Amino acid sequence: MHYFIIRVPLSVNLGVGISNLRDRLQYIKEQTVELKESLLPHCQRAFTNSFLPYLPLEICRKIILQIFSKHTVVITNVPGPEKQVFIANKPVSTCRFTANSLYSVISILSYNGQITITLNIDDHAIPNAHLLPKFFLNALVDLGKEFNVDIPHTLQNCIS
């Protein structure tokens, strides 16, 4: 069976170790712009769709292990509808999606002017996994403060 992949995973250095938030964001922006302007995504998709399906399963597994053993998390985003949608004449108030995987995944979905973030993680494999949402929210608050963004009271209350 042959599956056609439209999107492929790409590695991005997130500037871990750069302590200044503005410098780190600038670094990440430069990394992602360079990636978007390169041929790498197209070559990787071509490899994934044209070559990988015909390799023996054992070789595919080794390739996947080599790729994903060097990653700690996968972040995926999906732009959703900009305006509210209706199902059976009822407004959809929120949407979310999840990507089930063997590794940790952060899924981000925009919908109707809002963003929903879902974290899939193996709490048996990662000690203190329950603390990750709090750390993530604290990082968002720090980022908002750095750029003088008003932090909603509901968010301030859940991180204290």
Binned at pLDDT 50, 70 and 90, residue 44 comes out as confident
Residue-wise pLDDT tens digits, 78-105: 888 999 999 999 999 988 887 767 778 8
For the entire predicted model, the pTM comes to 0.70
Mean pLDDT, residues 63-82 taken together? 81
Per-residue pLDDT band for 23 (boundaries 50, 70, 90) equals: very high
Cβ neighbourhood burial of 111 (10 Å; 0-12, 13-18, 19+): buried
State what percent of residues in the chain have pLDDT above 90: 24
Q: Could you give phi then psi for residue 83, rounded to 5 degrees?
A: -115, 155
- Residue 154 pLDDT grade (very low, low, confident, very high; cuts 50, 70, 90): confident
Mean pLDDT value across the chain: 84
Domain boundaries, the chain: 1-71, 72-120, 123-160
Residue 1's pLDDT is what? Answer: 44
Higher local confidence (pLDDT), 78 or 34: 34
Other CB atoms within a 10 A radius of the CB of residue 40 amount to 14
| Long-range CB contacts for residues 109-116, cutoff 8 Å, separation at least 24 | 109/77, 109/78, 109/80, 110/77, 110/78, 110/79, 110/80, 110/82, 111/80, 111/81, 112/80, 112/81, 112/82, 112/83, 112/84, 112/85, 113/82
The pLDDT, as a whole number, for residue 6 is 62
More confidently predicted of 29 and 67: 29
**pLDDT tens-place string over residues 107-130:** 888 999 998 888 888 888 888 988
Judged against a pLDDT cut of 60, whether residue 7 lies above it is answered with yes
d(CA 50, CA 36): 21
Read off the pLDDT of residues 126-138 as tens digits, 9 standing for 90 and up. Answer: 889 889 888 888 8
